[in-house]
Amino acid sequence: MLVEQGSSRAAFDAEARTASEKDVKRQLLLDALADELQVQVGQDDLTERLVTTSRQYGIEPQQLFGYLQERNQLPTMFADVRRELAIRAAVEAATVTDSDGNTIDTSEFFGKRVSAGEAEEAEPADEGAARAASDEATT
């Protein structure tokens, strides 16, 4: 199959290694940024990820939660959410301008961050799964 694509095993291995190294570096950078910005993952953040991902796969959030829990993937989901929140926090803290110097409202791309008070008023789609995911991922 590699030969048909004009590639070799060595070239494939080199590309895979480079991509993996880049991925790990990005994760380490975002983890350090999250530490520096003291990013905290809330129950609503995990709920949002569970619901979004479950919709992508066409399954119920509780079913996805069970699948992730069985395969010990909740900490991975937690880390991914934390990295996304770190990016969001860095962008929100920055003043982004276009080529003409006009300030760009980044909430257009990332949405508005819900404050803790607003989050408590909002009812999560699957509170039980998110609470369990939060507890599982942080222990």
pLDDT tens for 43-86 read 999 999 999 999 999 999 999 999 999 999 999 999 999 999 99
| Same domain flag for 103 and 64 | yes
| Same domain flag for 132 and 75 | yes
Least Cα distance to 31 among 82, 69, 68 occurs for: 82
| Same domain flag for 29 and 45 | no
69-77, long-range: CB < 8 A, 24+ apart: 69/132, 69/133, 69/136, 74/133, 74/136, 74/137, 75/136, 75/137, 77/46, 77/49, 77/50, 77/53, 77/133, 77/137
| Same domain flag for 77 and 126 | yes
pLDDT score of 120: 43
pLDDT score of 106: 83
* CA 139 vs CA 29, 51, 79: distances in Å: 23, 22, 13
pLDDT score of 136: 59
Q: Is 93 exposed, middle or buried (0-12, 13-18, 19+ CB in 10 A)?
A: exposed
pLDDT score of 66: 96
Query: Residue 100 sits in which domain range?
Result: 40-138
pTM above 0.85, yes or no: no
pLDDT tens for 76-135 read 999 999 999 999 999 888 888 999 999 988 887 776 654 444 444 444 444 555 555 555
| Same domain flag for 69 and 82 | yes
